[in-house]
């Protein structure tokens, strides 16, 4: 197996992490994913700045930054998954930082919500991904950072510098550390995931198979065919998000029917809406690896779901941005 650098190796090989000046850099967080923000804070050795992010009795959001951030390099860590208040918190934190005379404001968005509507594919629909980009920019962000956009072209929706991190890096490290991958094949659960699956398979020196599916409606998909040899093989499926679980579980059933043995699925963003947990629990998937880009600390997840953290990856990216260092060396092996 050809061995590519892991997240830990890339981060530890860098002299950047931990050198960001705490007097110059400020980390802020709303309620969208406070546990991840706290992990990033600990890795960087920079305490989260004091913020008051709460609700009025009528449900409106109130934001106040309780530290002086004038002239500071401010990074606001906030996922924008549902409820919509998470997005409002991000926009209001950016606005508050702008009005507090921050030198530079970077919106750090581990999960960029509303990304699936990235084009006008039907009459009279909103291109919500572009709208979100406009709102974040208009609020006062100087740059943005996100993990595994649903479509890479969303980077072009922003009129400010945008850095895109690849969550597949943490899955690659996991499989590198778990041992030999004999008789494994990487499977793309749909055509949209072929690029990331092909790169993932190449890094692990594994063959690639593809699930051909046809979408029958919003959040609904029907598996049509398995392209590639999976009979008698162990399977690794990789996707950018697990929402209702329909795509990944339908693919797992098709793979098992085609003779696949152990099935491991990977999804960066664990949206897990609707009956996703039940579908996953009842599916042939033996283990589901997800990242902590969405907070599930208060959710009872099935034992087969394992959460890996993107905190080292995001912390390293923040440090490099703050120190005006290149990010390309961080993920150049993973695209």
CA distance 216 to 197: 23
CB atoms inside a 10 Å sphere around CB 333:
16
213 in catalytic set: yes
Would you call 186 helix, strand, or coil by DSSP?
Answer: strand
* Cβ within 8 Å of residue 246, ≥6 positions away: 219, 220, 221, 279
Question: Three-state SS string across 46-85, please?
Answer: CCECCEEEEECCCCCEEEEECCCCCCCEEEEECCCCCCCH
Residues 76/29, Cβ–Cβ less than 8 Å: yes
Contact by Cβ (8 Å): 14, 316: yes
With tokens 């033996």, the residue in question is: 286
Set 26, 213, 233, 257: catalytic member:
213
Q: Would you name the residues annotated as active-site residues?
A: 213
């Amino acid at each position: 197996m050809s061995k590519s650098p892991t997240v830990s190796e890339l981060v530890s090989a860098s002299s950047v992490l931990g050198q960001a000046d705490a007097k110059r850099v400020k980390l802020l967080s709303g309620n969208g994913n406070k546990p991840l923000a706290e992990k990033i804070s600990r890795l960087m050795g920079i305490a989260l700045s004091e913020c008051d992010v709460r609700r009025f009795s009528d449900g409106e959001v109130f934001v106040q930054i309780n530290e002086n951030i004038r002239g500071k390099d401010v990074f606001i860590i906030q996922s924008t998954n549902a409820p919509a208040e998470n997005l409002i918190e991000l926009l209001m934190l950016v606005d508050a930082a702008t009005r507090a005379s921050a030198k530079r404001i970077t919106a750090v968005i581990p999960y960029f919500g509303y990304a699936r509507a990235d084009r006008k594919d039907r009459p009279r629909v909103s291109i919500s991904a572009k709208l979100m980009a406009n709102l974040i920019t208009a609020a006062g962000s100087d740059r943005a950072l996100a993990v595994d956009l649903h479509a890479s072209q969303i980077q072009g929706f922003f009129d400010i510098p945008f850095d895109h991190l690849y969550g597949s890096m943490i899955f690659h490290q996991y499989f590198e550390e778990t041992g030999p991958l004999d008789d494994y094949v990487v499977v793309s659960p749909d055509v949209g995931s072929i690029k990331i699956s092909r790169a993932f398979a190449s890094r692990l020196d594994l063959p690639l198979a593809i699930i051909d599916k046809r979408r029958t409606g919003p959040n609904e998909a029907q598996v049509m065919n398995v392209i590639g040899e999976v009979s008698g093989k162990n399977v690794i499926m990789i996707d950018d998000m697990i929402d209702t679980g329909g795509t990944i579980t339908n693919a797992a059933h098709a793979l098992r029917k085609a003779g696949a043995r152990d099935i491991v699925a990977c999804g960066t963003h664990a949206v897990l809406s609707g009956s996703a947990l039940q579908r996953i629990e009842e599916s042939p998937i033996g283990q589901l690896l997800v990242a902590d880009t969405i907070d599930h600390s208060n959710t009872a997840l099935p034992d087969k779901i394992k959460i890996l953290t993107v905190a080292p990856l995001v912390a390293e990216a923040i440090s490099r941005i703050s120190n005006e260092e290149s990010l390309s060396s961080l993920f150049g092996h993973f695209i």
